[in-house]
Amino acid sequence: MPTFAFHTYGCQMNVRESEAAARALLDAGHTEAADEASADIVIVNTCSVRGKAEDKAIGKLGLLCASKRERPARIIGLMGCMAQRMGKDIFKKLPLLDFSIGTRCADSVAPAVEAALQGRTTLAMKPLDAQPDAPSGHVCNGNFAAFVTILLGCNRRCTYCIVPDVRGDEWSRPAREILKEVRQLAENGIKEVTLLGQSIMNYGLRTQAFDELDPPSPGGYTLPFPRLLEAVAAIDGIERIRFTSGHPSGVTEELIRLYREEPKLCHHLHLPVQSGSTEVLSRMRRGYTRERYLEAVRKLRQAVPDIAITTDVIVGFPGETEADFEATRSLMAEASFDNAFIFKYSPRPGTVSATWEDDICDAEKARRNQLLLSDQDIRGAQLNQRLIGTTVEVLAEGPSLRNKANWSGRTSSNKIVIFSPPKALQPGERIQLTITKAAPQTLYAE
Ligand code: 5AD
Ligand code: SF4
């Protein structure tokens, strides 16, 4: 049987969808290739969030398609956000491509491989309001952590963001399916699950996802996401729960209570802020002000002092003045983020902000990007320094990539800890460690 490999760009959602597609190919009798170079089938899972991510994927696909000249039987496929965005046009750009599968048709990957083996080309696309195929199959392979998609698509429509156009309308998976999936994962040795959704705290708002757990009350489902967290936490064998991504509107008293009272819920929240200027936030259509965002952070830190908060920031949004940028800098200092991903604004076709002038030049975007990165480096180092001498619980992951004599693991707050393992330690075991050294991105323990 032919061997396959996935090349995945973009977010955890894509990582998860590549995994589910790999499961389907394994079930169809194919095997995973030792590496991409030797694979008979290569599937590129793509991201459209910034122009650069698409350019990289097109370059990669061009090389892969060119490799068909020497290996005509090789199958090259495309899936994910760029497949959805480009539709049939991708075949004009890449005539040798065997298939292109849109974001809501993940179940079509395995059938498209079968068709390609028989010499047929596939384009699978669903309308953006059609029910999406939810990724459900897993490749556990002795892992102790897994991703579980609970919410597909997004309805928020931030003015810069292409996601609603490439992933379609928000759709919550039925709770019973999610819980069944997590129970199976637990039976397969998974100890940590990360629940995924673009705007995850909206889980259950638009789909009647709670028919099994809770009959709808006259007022509708008022607290669905926290209820799902509780239901996942009740599953035996699951020891840690994470989720991503958050929005300040979802930082409710109920969620904060869970952070305090549910020991399985990890003390980490990824809460993209995008900008610290209320003016820019309003043009981004983010649905909160600077003050409202900082209030959510304050409440979280007050109730859960050891919580780690991470964020995403866009610099160089149309019309971002020096004062707006300074507002972002000061917000980042005030929020005291544990980590931040900084992106240079990139106009995306079809979005509202793409109709506005991209007026911050690239050099200025780069300068703002660098400044925030170096601020964050200093902040990260300071925050980590404070952890020296404290004892933290670490879920051991296995030998560290750099030095096999050491192991790496993660704290509940998602910080990486490098340590020398006691004898007979198993991956997935939890141990208490005292932090002895700190770098901006890594902690060290004896
Ligand atoms: N330009 C730059 N960054 C973007 N992001 C989303 N859209 C754009 C864009 N057009 C960033 C946001 C988001 C992250 C996944 O990517 O910060 O949170
Ligand atoms: Fe990229 Fe967004 Fe698609 Fe994830 S959902 S792959 S970040 S465009």
Position in ligand 1 atom list of the atom nearest CA 344 = 2
Backbone angles phi, psi at 373, to 5 degrees: -65, -40
Residue 445 pLDDT: 94
- Among 9, 49, 315, 345, the mutation site with the greatest number of ligand 1 atoms within 8 A of its Cβ is 49
Determine if ligand 1 sits within 6 Å of the CB of residue 274. Answer: yes
Please report, for residues 201, 221, 229, 271, 293, the alpha-carbon distance to residue 205 in angstroms, rounded to integers and kept in the order given. Answer: 9, 7, 15, 19, 21
**Can you give the pTM of this predicted structure?**
0.94
Architecture of the 298-383 domain? 2-Layer Sandwich (3.30)
**CATH for 3-124?**
3.40.50.12160
Residue 433: pLDDT band with limits 50, 70, 90? very high
Q: What value does the mean pLDDT of the chain take? A: 93
Q: How many CB atoms lie within 10 A of CB 119?
A: 7
Mean pLDDT of 179-193: 96
Could you check whether the bond before residue 420 is cis, i.e. omega within 30 degrees of 0?
A: no
From 61-70, 184-193, 199-208, 269-278, the region with the lowest mean pLDDT? 199-208
**Cβ burial, residue 146 (10 Å; 0-12/13-18/19+):** buried
- Cβ neighbours of residue 218 closer than 8 Å, sequence gap 6 or more: none
Residue 205 pLDDT: 81
Architecture of the 391-445 domain? Beta Barrel (2.40)
**pLDDT per residue over 315-330, tens digit each?**
999 999 999 999 999 9
Determine if ligand 1 sits within 6 Å of the CB of residue 343. Answer: yes
**Cβ burial, residue 148 (10 Å; 0-12/13-18/19+):** buried
Q: Would the CATH topology of 3-124 be identical to that of 298-383?
A: no
pLDDT at 215 over 60: no
Q: How many whole angstroms separate alpha carbon 377 and alpha carbon 382?
A: 9
Six-digit token string for 92: 């004009």
From 58-62, 392-396, 421-425, the region with the lowest mean pLDDT? 421-425
Residue 207: pLDDT band with limits 50, 70, 90? low
196 touches 213 (CB < 8 A): no
Residue 383: pLDDT band with limits 50, 70, 90? very high
- Which residue has the least CA distance to atom 7 on ligand 1? 161
**Domain ranges, ordered by start, for the chain:** 3-124, 140-266, 298-383, 391-445
Residue 222: pLDDT band with limits 50, 70, 90? very low
- Among 7, 13, 169, 343, the mutation site with the greatest number of ligand 2 atoms within 8 A of its Cβ is 13
3-state secondary structure 23-42: HHHHHCCCEECCCCCCCCEE
Determine if ligand 1 sits within 6 Å of the CB of residue 49. Answer: yes
Residue 283 pLDDT: 98
Position in ligand 2 atom list of the atom nearest CA 9 = 6
Strands (E), 255-352: 268-270, 308-315, 339-344
- In terms of phi and psi (left: phi > 0; alpha: psi -120 to 50; beta: otherwise), the region of 130 is beta
Residue 219 pLDDT: 36
- Which residue has the least CA distance to atom 1 on ligand 2? 47
Helix orientation angle between 290-303 and 322-335, rounded to the nearest 10 degrees: 10
**CATH for 140-266?**
3.30.750.210
pLDDT at 393 over 80: yes
From 30-44, 68-82, 108-122, 389-403, the region with the lowest mean pLDDT? 389-403
In 3-state terms the chain splits into helix, strand, coil percentages (rounded to 5) of 40, 20, 40
Determine if ligand 2 sits within 6 Å of the CB of residue 11. Answer: yes
- In terms of phi and psi (left: phi > 0; alpha: psi -120 to 50; beta: otherwise), the region of 119 is left
Position in ligand 1 atom list of the atom nearest CA 161 = 7
- Which residue has the least CA distance to atom 13 on ligand 1? 312
Q: How many whole angstroms separate alpha carbon 415 and alpha carbon 296?
A: 22
Determine if ligand 2 sits within 6 Å of the CB of residue 47. Answer: yes
Determine if ligand 1 sits within 6 Å of the CB of residue 161. Answer: yes
Q: How many whole angstroms separate alpha carbon 269 and alpha carbon 278?
A: 22
- The Å distance, Cα 161 to ligand 1 centre, comes to 6
Radius of gyration over alpha carbons of the chain, in Å?
A: 22
Ligand in nearest proximity to the CA of 82? 2
- The Å distance, Cα 99 to ligand 2 centre, comes to 20
- The Å distance, Cα 81 to ligand 2 centre, comes to 6
**pLDDT per residue over 278-306, tens digit each?**
999 999 999 999 999 999 999 999 999 99
397 touches 389 (CB < 8 A): no
Determine if ligand 1 sits within 6 Å of the CB of residue 345. Answer: yes
- Among 78, 162, 166, 312, the mutation site with the greatest number of ligand 2 atoms within 8 A of its Cβ is 166
- The Å distance, Cα 167 to ligand 2 centre, comes to 8
